[in-house]
Amino acid sequence: MTLGEALRAATARLGAAGVDSPDLDARLLALEAFRLDHAALLSRGGDAAPLEGIDRLDVMVARRGAGEPVARILGRREFWGLDFALSPATLVPRPDSETVVQAALDALEGRDGPLRILDLGAGTGCLLLALLSERKDAYGIGVDRSAEAAATARRNARALGLGGRAAFLVGDWAASLSGPFDLVISNPPYIAAGEIAGLDREVREHDPHLALDGGAAGLDAYAAIAQDAPRLMGAGSVLVLELGVGQEADVALLAAAAGFDVRPAKRDLGGVPRALVCLWPGR
């Protein structure tokens, strides 16, 4: 079997399994299975496929056909142009969350460092580490309730050369920390508990429920963060929260009740209000 034949067979299997993007997924899995880059896979399509690569691809295709996301199979995902390792305790970084990074950078524009950043519910560390990659004058702390997630974020920080400016702790939001921070960011659990069973299979069966379950209305984490955030802020500090679909008004009310000046949410590429920017005037 040639590399091209192996790729076509994988595509056919994924198509038959009902995968939405069988061509792309098969190609990504084949790159990993055969340890090739895109150019080599294209140019060497007529070469004999190594047996060990065929075996690896067979296992990967079976996992993908059973509903496991490609990123979970590969164990990593690109975010903000950076490569992030995953673990079972972390969400897969998604393009929508890059809106939070951009909203935070916009809110900090013109502000000189050094900047102190706090990431609540850090997961892979993608939000904090993306910001540190852009702001060389910043350092930050990420907190997650999962020890495994915090360990994954530490590994990502070291791999990206950012370990000297980032620390990842295990905790219950910011309970063990004191401010002030110039920026607090969070992609908290925001799925209503009753809606988790209806999520896409890839999310429902493979993302950690601790990072999904936002309580009865999906607002529990927002309420906890908004109530505690004022003590973490200094005059002019910024809170940026990732939103679920349709949550802008409710979360804005929580933030405003805590004393924040709430700005309209920044929309993601799909037009969904995704990143709520809240300014702290100080007292």
DSSP states of the chain: -BHHHHHHHHHHHHHHTT-S-HHHHHHHHHHHHHT--HHHHHHTTTSBPPHHHHHHHHHHHHHHHTT--HHHHHTEEEETTEEEE--TTSPPP-GGGHHHHHHHHHHHTT--S-EEEEEES-TTSHHHHHHHHH-TTEEEEEEES-HHHHHHHHHHHHHTT-GGGEEEEESSTTTT----EEEEEE----B-GGGGGGS-HHHHHHS-GGGTB--TTS-HHHHHHHHHGGGGEEEEEEEEEE--TT-HHHHHHHHHHTT-EEPPPEE-TTS-EEEEEEE----
Beta bridge partners of 143: 120, 169
Report pLDDT digits (tens) over 159-198.
Answer: 999 999 999 999 999 888 988 999 999 999 999 999 999 9
Binding residues for S-adenosyl-L-methionine: 121-125, 144, 173, 187
Looking at residue 183, its pLDDT comes to: 97
pTM given for the model: 0.93
Phi first, then psi: give them for residue 270, nearest 5 degrees: -90, 5
Q: Which two tokens stand for residue 249?
A: 């008004």
Q: How far apart are CA 83 and CA 74, in angstroms?
A: 12
Q: What is the amino acid identity at position 11? A: T
Q: How far apart are CA 162 and CA 67, in angstroms?
A: 33
Q: What is the CA radius of gyration of the chain?
A: 21
**pLDDT above 60: residue 233:** yes
Binding residues for substrate: 187-190
CATH number of 3-74: 1.10.8.10
Q: Which two tokens stand for residue 2?
A: 């040639």
CATH number of 88-279: 3.40.50.150
Q: What is the amino acid identity at position 14? A: L
Binding residues: 121-125, 144, 173, 187-190
- Span between the terminal Cα atoms of the chain, in Å: 71
Annotated domain spans of the chain: 3-74, 88-279
Least confident among 21-25, 200-204, 246-250: 200-204
Q: What's the CA dihedral at 124, 128, 129, 132 to 10 degrees?
A: -170
* Average pLDDT of the chain, as a whole number: 95
Find out whether 99 and 165 touch, Cβ atoms under 8 Å.
no
Report pLDDT digits (tens) over 121-143.
Answer: 999 999 999 999 999 999 999 99
Looking at residue 282, its pLDDT comes to: 66
